[in-house]
Structure 1
Amino acid sequence: MPADRPRVVLADDHRLVAEGLQRLLEDECELVACVSSGTALLDAVHQYAPDLVVTDLSMPDRNGLSVMRELRAAGVQVPFVFLTMHAEPTLAEQALRAGASAYVLKSSAGEELLRAIHVVRSGRTYITPTLGARVIAAPGRGQKQELTDKQMQVLQLVSAGLRSKQIAAELGVSVRTVESHKYAIMQALDVHSTLELVRKADEYGLTPGLRTTPPVS
């Protein structure tokens, strides 16, 4: 993340949650406004021109997604980090397609929110890993491509730098099974090499915090 502290507008209509988020963010961000409604969020973005918005998806008057869409229509491209209790993959997909930079579950908040902000500030997209692989749509395809739980495990181990034999030992399956999963994942994500696969996983925030050099086979 850039060395300067990003100027952030925070929006959440639950007072205790908002107070906790302020304490979490204050060391790394400059909070220029904390609001509790969609209308107030819209006004705050226009008033303060923040570097980043951290917002709940659902709020009393209008939801964060509609606010983001209105700002996008007006040419305001500030990154939106959605922090929400809604764990439905379809909602995450909808938010990302509309232009969101991150989708983080409140049940995973804390260090993960800070990680998401770092990822977004570096120009990438972040999704809570339990949702991420399920909302990736391959370019040029008309339908969403979903990964199974086992495929998600394989994807994350590939991203951690493990080769097929190591992954097979880790998961207690055959190397052929691992290769079959890798092929299915690459088809779903429309990539053609392990390196591309790692990059796609990293783009969607599915990689572990520490990773060895990925294989390039």
Structure 2
Amino acid sequence: MSIIRNIYCVGRNYSQHAAELGNDVPTSPMFFSKPTHALVEATGQAISLPGNRGDVHYEAEFVIRIGKPYAVGMKAEDVIDAIGLGIDFTLRDVQSELKKKGHPWLLAKGFPNSAVITRMLPFPGMDVCERTEFSLLINGERVQHATIREMIFDLQTILDFAATHYGIGEGDLIYTGTPAGVGASAHGDRMQLFWGDELLGECTLHMEN
């Protein structure tokens, strides 16, 4: 995998997902970030996650990689060089407590292996991205699926917002939000991420106590 600089994530970018967690639908993109230590490529191996901090929820996401420096006015097609799929793992009980206190989410979102990523594909163009469904299968059962056309904030809006408020550049990854269907993970779960009919990555979960 090429060098990754920043890992940005968009929260609540599918209205049905916001509803399933009882959250308001945002009126502007909601970003958080993960440390690069959170990133792990799903190549069929076992991935360790904390099993002693409450529920660990899976959140499958469409991921873009930035391939060149951004300048005002650039189109998404100009700066995205690759796409992939990811899982934003979340310590949901920890996150709920952080929300109550008004604290940042890093403890719930930034632990090692919390940013699973598949192999990346060359950017196929916006039309292909918008019409191709991505999905997550757990133990052979499809639990999440969507196209990015269902996102509240499209890729251009996400890029413009991130560039204005945080800066984006070559080597950055952006996890663009998860559709409905999130849930608790379990020890031994086999996770498979599909782009259309193509398997891009898979792993088995090992919950450590």
Identify the structure with bigger relative contact order (alpha carbons < 8 Å, sequence gap 6+). 2
TM score, norm. by length of structure 2: 0.23
Which structure has greater helix proportion? 1
Which structure has greater strand proportion? 2
Bigger-Rg structure (1/2): 1
TM score, norm. by length of structure 1: 0.23
